[in-house]
């Protein structure tokens, strides 16, 4: 895992440490992180979880969206990761006009659910935003999606079949947003 770096091709457009509105503003990247016995590259950001790290790849406050890449184990049952993520990262984004959240999940190896309260709160805050927001998880492993479904997160978050096998790296961030919005429309048409 120590060789897995956050996606960096968009760094000319956005660098989280240069974003004055980001909780990671002026952050320096020198320390290696650790998930269990595995070292993680220093470029991943810590938000007080012991098992899950992230990198904000894009935050566009004018357009109201963010793309966040995650790595590790998402553990709400023991670590309460959603509480730390919500309080330490997402709330500041919501306060600054972000209401559309794209989470890249292909490096999230496990999910251990607990309750859905924080997800319900997050989804409600996104939907109450001026331009009506949402939460999408891209490229979620099947076993992770199954656990999320069992925790009823699909009531608040879009994930699963329609949102997997998405080759987001080949596009600029704005195109990823547009393609995700198109996926959401086609996915909701199939459900009705």
Whether residue 42 lies inside any domain: the answer is yes
Domain that holds residue 85: 16-191
Q: What CATH number is given to the structural domain containing 148?
A: 3.30.750.24
Q: Which of 54, 139, 66 is nearest to 97 (CA)?
A: 66
Whether residue 167 lies inside any domain: the answer is yes
Whether residue 124 lies inside any domain: the answer is yes
pLDDT at 66 over 50: yes
Instruction: Please give the model's pTM, rounded to 2 decimal places.
Output: 0.94
Whether residue 4 lies inside any domain: the answer is no
Whether residue 125 lies inside any domain: the answer is yes
Whether residue 6 lies inside any domain: the answer is no
pLDDT at 69: 98
Question: Mean pLDDT in the chain?
Answer: 91
Q: Give kind and range of the element (H or E) at residue 11.
A: none
**Domains in the chain: how many in total?**
1
User: Which residues have C-beta within 8 Å of that of residue 77, sequence separation ≥ 6?
Assistant: 112, 113, 114
Whether residue 37 lies inside any domain: the answer is yes
In the three-class reduction of DSSP (H, G, I as helix; E, B as strand; rest coil), residue 177 is classed as: helix
pLDDT at 190: 44
DSSP secondary structure of 105-172: EEEEEEEE---SHHHHHHHHHHHHSTT--EEEEES--HHHHHHHHHTTGGGT-B-SGGGSS--GGGS-
pLDDT at 3 over 80: no
Query: Which percentage of the chain shows pLDDT scores above 70?
Result: 95
176 is written with which tokens?
């990823």
pLDDT at 30 over 90: no
pLDDT at 27: 85
Q: Which residue shows structure tokens 């198109």?
A: 182
Whether residue 80 lies inside any domain: the answer is yes
């Amino acid at each position: 895992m120590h060789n897995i770096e956050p996606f960096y091709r968009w760094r000319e457009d956005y660098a989280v440490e240069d974003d004055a509105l980001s909780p990671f503003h002026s952050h320096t990247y020198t320390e290696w992180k650790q998930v269990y016995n595995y070292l993680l590259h220093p470029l991943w950001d810590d938000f007080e979880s012991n098992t899950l790290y992230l990198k904000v790849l894009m935050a566009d406050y004018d357009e109201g969206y963010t793309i966040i890449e995650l790595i590790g184990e998402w553990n709400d049952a023991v670590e309460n990761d959603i509480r730390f993520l919500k309080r330490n990262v997402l709330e500041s984004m919501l306060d600054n006009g972000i209401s559309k959240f794209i989470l890249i999940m292909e490096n999230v190896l496990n999910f251990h659910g607990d309750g859905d309260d924080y997800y319900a709160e997050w989804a409600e805050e996104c939907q109450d935003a001026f331009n009506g927001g949402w939460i999408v998880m891209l490229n979620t492993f099947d076993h992770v999606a199954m656990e999320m479904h069992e925790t009823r997160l699909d009531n608040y978050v879009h994930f699963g079949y329609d949102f997997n096998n998405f080759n987001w790296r080949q596009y600029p961030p704005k195109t990823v947003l547009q393609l995700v919005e198109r996926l959401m429309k086609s996915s909701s048409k199939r459900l009705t």
